[in-house]
Amino acid sequence: MKPLSVMLSMLVIGMTSSAAMAEGASVVNTSLANASLPNASLPNISPANSELVNRGAYIARAADCMACHGEDYTGGTAIETPMGDIYSTNITPSKRYGIGDYTETDLKTALQKGRTPSNMLYPAMPYPSYSGMKEEDISALFAYLQTVPAIDEAPKYKTDLPFPFNIRSLMIGWNFLNVPSTENRDGLTEMQQRGEYIVNNLEHCGTCHTPRNSTMGFDKKMYLSGAQLGHWHAPNITPDESSGIGSWSEQDIVTYLRTGELDQRAYAGGPMGEAVAHSTRYLKNEDLNAIASYLKAVPAIQTDDKVAAVDVSRLPTPTSESITHDLLAQKDYLAQAKAQVSNGSNSPESLYLAACGSCHGVDGYGQPDARYAPIVGLSSIRREKPDALVNMILHGVEGATNTSPIMPGFSDELNSEQIAGITNYVRVNFGGLNSSEVSANDVDRIATTGTDKPFLIKYAGLLAVIGIIVAIIIIVFIMRAILRSRRRR
């Protein structure tokens, strides 16, 4: 259940991470990209469970509940939003801390209307998308959630937003303006209708990939065209040829969602790595095919963050097909580069080898067996805007799972000029670009640029105080008018 602003915190297709990949995702090569991929074994499916419960386990994966609530459903994940951090809750059948007292109607109301028996929810729980969930899927999910182990623990942190966002009743007005978040389109095939349901409702892809309007609801005119989420950028996944995924075939989309990787084009890390790890790799092939068919049918939207076409002739050749031999061969080479940097060398190649080479390799092909990402040809380093790559170098990338490697950030170790040098080196040598001219000033700009808060969010506190004062003045005016009227009588 990834939400509002990060999942709101998310990188996806093309904005691939230079670090951790989804646990269990296999390395994709050219032959595999065109092959039929087997369904992944779905955890929590048991012959001992009813068909309804096992179907609910699948719905939980398709709705990506684990991304926020964890594999054990105990919650506690911080979801960054422009209003502050919102923490996911315990949704195990615990009667004290979880949803053990929920009826199926309670769950349906929470999913479709953002309201629990005790309070309104914030749209970090993506009920604007879940509002379109089918009744039979909610029934199956409810049946499944009753069977997971009840854990009588409250999350370590509790949502505590500043005024006026701590007034949950304000969500009534927000819901009126922004729920549902999407509308079904006409003229789709049966397969595309299924894909639309998964993309818009269950997987809630627009939560990350659609820009927000002034109220932080979806900007529907820019549906799936990409959005900035703090330091992350969820890229354009419409079928635009220059800035989206128009060059991807339907099989490419299926391969990426199943494995988290597309050879020399994309690698899923950060929030998208989580989505692959917890959700999309478990989907049935027919559902992945439906998603792919729908994404190729949505209106193409061109944005100004275009991606240069892959020039395969400019990409490096792997040093060795044997990753073990490759690492041994690189050992002395990397040690020499680190020594040069220690002695004051600012050579972009030396900086890359010293800071990045031990994980991503001297040739950029990484260490797939250890789940260190290959970065050769990735669309995130071929974009006209270098912001995605610079942000990854500055801030690092969290692993998709607890056992995934973590890419550290280098904002405290390298200066802006050094980071610019690494950025240019990677874009030219591993992205195949003819040139790259990222400067230290560019790095400084990117480092200090956050997501612009809409006016209503930025000045909500002040506007609320003004509103209260105006309301008091109006009440006083009405009371005086009433008193005068009575005196005249």
Nearest-angstrom CA–CA distance, 256 and 288: 10
Q: Annotated binding residue at 233? A: no
| 3-class SS of residue 137 | helix
Q: Where are the beta strands (DSSP E) in 253-303?
A: 261-262, 266-267
Q: What token pair was written down for 279?
A: 């959700």
Confirm or deny that 278 is annotated as ligand binding.
no
Q: Is 367 helix (H, G, I), strand (E, B) or coil?
A: strand
Asked if residue 68 belongs to a known ligand binding site, the reply is yes
325 is in an annotated binding site: no
d(CA 331, CA 328): 5
Please enumerate in sequence order all residues whose Cβ is within 8 A of that of 343, keeping only pairs 6 or more positions apart, or say none.
Answer: none
471: tokens are 């309301």
- Residue 213 burial by CB count (10 A; 0-12/13-18/19+): exposed, middle or buried? middle
Note whether 21 and 372 are within 8 A (CB).
no
359 is in an annotated binding site: yes
Report the Cα–Cα distance between both ends of the chain, in Å, rounded. Answer: 62
Contact 39, 286 (CB under 8 A): no
Compute φ and ψ for 9, nearest 5 degrees: 110, 45
Element housing 262 (H / E): strand 261-262
Q: Rounded to an integer, what distance in angstroms lies between the CA atom of residue 283 and that of residue 223?
A: 23
**What residue numbers does the annotated binding site for heme c cover?**
65, 68-69, 205, 208-209, 356, 359-360
**What residue numbers does the annotated binding site cover?**
65, 68-69, 205, 208-209, 356, 359-360
